[in-house]
Amino acid sequence: MRDGAPLAIQLPASVAAVLAGLAEMNAEAAMVGGCVRDLVRGEQPVDWDVATSAPPEAVAERFPGAAWQNAFGTVTVLANDDGPSVEVTTYRVEGGYRDRRRPDHVRWGGSLVEDLARRDFTINAMAWLPTDLAAGQGRLVDPHGGAADLAAGMLRAVGDPDARLEEDALRLVRAVRFATRFDLRLDPATEAAIERHAGATAGLSGERVRDELLRILAGSAPPSRALLLMERLGLLAVLLPELAALRGVPQAKALPGDALDHSLRAADALPADDHVLRLAGLLHDLGKATTLGDGHFIGHERDGAALAEAVMRRLRSPRAEIARVTRLVRHHMFAYTQAWTDAAVRRFVKRVGRDLVDGLFALREADNVASGAREPTRGGLPELRVRVARVLADDPLEAGQLAVDGHDLTEALGIEPGPLVGNLLDRLVEAVLDDPTLNRRERLVELARGWMSEPVAGDRTHRQARDKAGASG
């Protein structure tokens, strides 16, 4: 297929309605970008992007209820049926990129061809202009030969690769994402330019890098492919130096390879629709680079958790996600045996967090796959799973599950609400972790009353003060 070739497509009704509405305004409107690429590849697009000559104000006015998003002139037209919503962006021409991050200015009012020229890769720089909307007829607008590149299996920058990558360093990472997603080779000039400009990705904002990294991790292609390509092009050492440092760190595992190979295999083995788990797999052994000295990686889960946290902070990840990933890394070395008592199983769940045990088990399974390790038939992960499920179903593990609450304690013991009550509840949780049969109201009150009459009565501040005095005296 080439520039100007006729192309018939099946348009969702909501998309056809937007194109028709713009045509009624005597504006030019075309489908552009990723959706045209997907159609040329014979796939149904997920997002439908429309570009138009009409200014954003006019688009917003024509489609009541449309949300005008931002300074980039994108108007989102929500579908009134079940169809996809459509992003309509006015043709634009971007100015210089002095900081390699954002265009210095965006100007609209250009032509479709100018709009395509500012896009990153030829395969993303095609448009479809309708000729007969009702019949789904139109023609391909492909000034940069994107369809030919797709057919040849080639990813190529639009125009001069050095200039395009210098404008926006995110394009280096996007090149890796698109090349691995569609199994394309890099055009040699584009590849050489990526290697030359790899260092510029250091200036990218964490959010933009995270967004691309998560799209790589969520892809159907194994993420190891993209990460290995990033390594080869010099991007990994700049964007994820902690991970790149695992290259050459030896592993005594059944499968060959070093700690980086192992980490990539672990990420591949985790589900693509759970980026927290994929990140945990990717980052779980970061501490091996820093604990290599002792030959046994002692404490690598602790160092690894700190390194994973640093990586995710740099990527401006949401705090809750950082907490989950670091917790998974921190606990990934658990070593279950049949000798664990039920209390040990309960303490394990408490330590890891009930919300994360399933994730931790998934991480262990991926770690095994990535090592070529097998669980023992007795006393292995399947047995721990069963025991964990049982304590989760039956046993109290936290204050909220106690047969008393703070109010009960203040009433029964005649004490004021305050830190002492919290303290007593903590101690009661510890007690029922050891022996869940204690979890009856009278029994717990009795226990707490007993502690109250001890000289240090469960009051940690007293106890700590006493311990301190003892230590220094």
- Which stretches of the chain bind Mg ion, using CB under 5 A? 34, 47
Residue closer to Mg ion, measured from CB, 84 or 422:
84
| Window 13-42: contact mask with ligand ATP (x via CB under 6 A) | --------------------xx--------
| Residue 146 makes contact with ligand ATP by CB under 6 A | no
* Encoded tokens for 253: 């595992």
State the minimum distance, in angstroms, from the CB of residue 47 to Mg ion. Answer: 4
Strand ranges (E), 66-198:
67-68, 74-77, 86-90, 92-94, 106-108, 127-132, 137-141, 154-155, 185-186
Considering only residues 84 to 123 of the shown chain, the ones binding ligand ATP according to CB under 6 A are: 119-120
Query: Cβ atoms within 10 A of the Cβ of 342, count?
Result: 16
User: Could you say whether residue 210 binds ligand ATP (CB under 6 A)?
Assistant: no
Positions 160 through 199 that interact with ligand ATP (CB under 6 A): 168, 170-171
Rounded Cα gap, residues 286 and 358, in angstroms:
22
Q: Total number of residues binding ligand ATP (CB under 6 A)?
A: 10
The least CB distance from residue 205 to Mg ion, in Å, is: 19
Closest alpha carbon to 88 in 79, 72, 76, 106: 76
Smallest gap from Cβ 121 to ligand ATP, in A, equals: 7
Q: Please identify, using beta-carbon distances, which residue of 116 and 397 lies nearer to ligand ATP.
A: 116
Decide: is 439 part of the binding site for ligand ATP (CB under 6 A): no
242 sits near ligand ATP (criterion: CB under 6 A): no
**If contact means CB under 5 to 8 A according to the sort of partner, which of ligand ATP, Mg ion, none does residue 356 touch?**
none
Cβ closest to ligand ATP, residue 168 vs residue 242: 168
* 47 part of the interface to ligand ATP, by CB under 6 A: yes
Which of 53, 124, 291, 439 lies at the binding interface for ligand ATP (CB under 6 A)? Answer: 124
Considering beta carbons, is residue 168 or 395 the nearer one to ligand ATP? 168
- Phi/psi for 29 (5° steps) reads -145, 135
**C-alpha 48: how far from chain center:** 23
Residues near 194 by beta carbon (within 8 Å), at least 6 away in sequence = 161, 165, 172, 175, 186, 233, 235
Report the nearest approach of ligand ATP to the CB of residue 105 (Å): 15
φ, ψ of residue 450 to 5 degrees: the values are -60, -45
DSSP string, 421-463: HHHHHHHHHHHHHH-GGG-SHHHHHHHHHHHHHSTTTT-HHHH
Q: Residue 107: beta bridge partners?
A: 93
Count Cβ atoms within 10 A of the Cβ of residue 188 and give its class: 0-12 exposed, 13-18 middle, 19 or more buried: exposed
- Exposure string (b/e) for 130-141, b if CB count within 10 Å is 16 or more? beebeeeebbbb
Output 27 or 36, the one with its CB closest to ligand ATP: 36
Residues that bind ligand ATP in the complex, under the rule CB under 6 A: 33-34, 47, 119-120, 124-125, 168, 170-171
